[in-house]
Structure 1
């Protein structure tokens, strides 16, 4: 005898109605196009990005007429010539590359042990505490954090007050290159940990046990076993941190005090201070090209890391 007490749940009716609606809007004959439908938002975003780059490229071919403050109608490469021959922009580009490289190296150096401890700890409480400490900065904007460091590291800030207690004169901790690097590392650390954690999770803990059983000490096991196996995660984290650091605007502007500008700050100045959209567009395209060349070189030398599916190991 059938069970008459059974009642068809309301949510099942809703799901059936949605399924019938989906069949009407997207018949089974369109199944081959489902993948394109799912990829449509990403294709739209990429298309808008390409259109924006085309417009920026067009603007970069026009120079600013200082008599009328309008862009010239003639096409020219004068903006690129000015950018390549200017000692100021060469210095800014070199500072940006050096800062991005240092930030990447320091971030990975701090992110690896943090991610390793978070993945390997057996205490759920410790793991939760590490996760909370990792995600908490995401709830605070970059600008707010930068201004927080102004309060902490200023001449009358907490650090110099503590140094004054022990008789040390105030030290200039802000508006210099190390302050920018410090701010960038603090900002990029969560990104590095989040990129490294999946790579370390995929490495079985038995691998370290096996290395120890063969006579390897824990540091040797980390250096010769864990680090090589975590290389895809290190490459992926390095690429993300490097590109974000290379294009950063807030930390150089706030912690650098205007004396440690990066390329992004120079682009901002051309667009919004001197109103030279042509030169600003040329600098923007040069930044895109520089970042793309560096990332392409890393992919060629080391592989795409965690950013590629099915990459060779």
Structure 2
């Protein structure tokens, strides 16, 4: 028996397919085949627009940094000058803030990678689906809590009457001042950056064949030798990528130094905020913002030159 022609055969054609065919015909009218070679540019046009807006903002900031604040009118002076940059370079306070930002970012990278690597390794290598799901749940849970909320949580935990000091009091230790110090800021940054580092390390560790580690062990290497000579070198792209992301996020962070530092452990972002919104010196704030951009660019360029782009190279040359 042959298929029935006419309307019955058309009814067998799914409605969703008809809609897709209609959309395809409409797209062919709006975007002719001759323009198909420009499809890629069309797809990245929104991203290019965002980059253009960012560049425009940086250009305006660069212009603003060349005008000092007129103390008589509290408006930017019309004359162009490098006085704001000289103020930053000649000020011991700003140099201390720059050094604190760089050292804080460095320590955050070190401690974050030390904690993230075993977590990511366990996440990738565990044979138990339940353990893997539990690790993923714990990893993603902080993303549902904002950074400010987490910082407030640490204020409660580490305060003079917080959980930590209460626990120390039970063993006879007098309460200690744990908040508003540089180590506390680094601690908060590490806790905040840890999920990002794990997510960047996990794909790099997944790409390492388990058989490679087994082969190294069968040749007489212990677990430490396998880790040092096999796993870590092969995971270097992930370590570099995770380190870059953590370093840039820590260098530009605002909330943790402001809340856990209590105003005494400011990073550059906090100094920029103070100049823009507290003293209304937009020129000096713009200069500090460009110093922050320059420091981040130099840091990323130095890492690229020394170690490559890591997993951020997107499969390109490393």
TM-score scaled by structure 1? Answer: 0.98
Confirm whether residue 218 of structure 1 aligns to residue 219 of structure 2.
no
Deviations 1:43-68 (A, max 9, x none): 10100000000000000000001111
What does residue 106 of structure 2 align with? Answer: 101
Matches within 5 A, 1:39-188: 39-188=44-193
SS at structure 1 position matched to 2:316: coil
- Displacement, 1:311? 3.5
Q: Distance in 1 between matches of 2:155 and 2:22?
A: 57
Tell me the alpha carbon deviations over residues 201-233 of structure 1, each in whole angstroms, 9 at most, x when there is no partner: 111111111101111111110111010001011
The question of 1:32 aligning with 2:37 is answered: yes
Aligned-residue RMSD, C-alpha: 1.1
**CA positional deviation for 1:312:** 3.4
What is the alpha-carbon distance in structure 1 between the residues aligned to residue 92 and residue 113 of structure 2? 32
- The separation in 1 between residues aligned to 2:124 and 2:262, in whole angstroms, is 38
State the match for 2:14 in structure 1.
Answer: 9
Deviation at 1:21, TM superposition (A): 1.4
1:304 paired to 2:305: no
> Any idea what SS the aligned residue of 1:181 has?
helix
Gaps of 5+ in 2: none
The match for 1:209 is 214
Question: What's the counterpart of residue 25 of structure 2?
Answer: 20
Counterparts of 1:272-287 in structure 2, within 5 Å, are 272-287=277-292
Q: Is the 8 A contact 1:305 1:311 kept in 2?
A: no
Counterpart of 2:201 in structure 1 is: 196
Shift of residue 10 of structure 1? 1.6
Change (3 A) 1:203 1:42: same
After superposing the two structures, state which structure 1 stretch, 12-21 or 240-249, moved more.
12-21
Q: Is the 8 A contact 1:160 1:171 kept in 2?
A: yes
Deviation, 1:281, is: 0.1
CA deviation map 1:155-180 (0-9, x unaligned): 00011111111111101111101110
1:233 aligns with 2:238: yes
Which residue does the alignment assign to 1:254? 259
- Distance in 1, Cα, partners of 2:116 & 2:130: 20
What is the CA deviation profile of residues 255-297 of structure 1, one whole-angstrom value per residue up to 9, with x for unaligned ones?
0011000000000000000000000000000110110011001
Which consecutive residues of structure 1, in runs of 5 or more, have no partner in the other structure?
Answer: none
Paired with 1:204 and 1:163, the residues of 2 have a C-alpha distance of 45
SS at match of 1:294: helix
Quote how far apart the aligned CAs of 1:7 are. 1.6
Indicate the residue corresponding to 2:250 in structure 1: 245
The structural deviation recorded for 1:89 is 0.2
TM-score (norm 2): 0.97
> In the TM superposition, what is the alpha-carbon distance from 1:310 to its structure 2 partner?
3.9
Q: Distance in 2 between matches of 1:300 and 1:234?
A: 15
Do the aligned partners of 1:198 and 1:233 also contact (CA within 8 Å) in 2?
yes
CA distance in 2, matches of 1:29, 1:230: 44
8 A Cα contact 1:303 1:311, kept in partner: no
Question: Deviations for 1:88-122, whole angstroms, at most 9, x for unmatched residues?
Answer: 00000000000000000000000000000000011
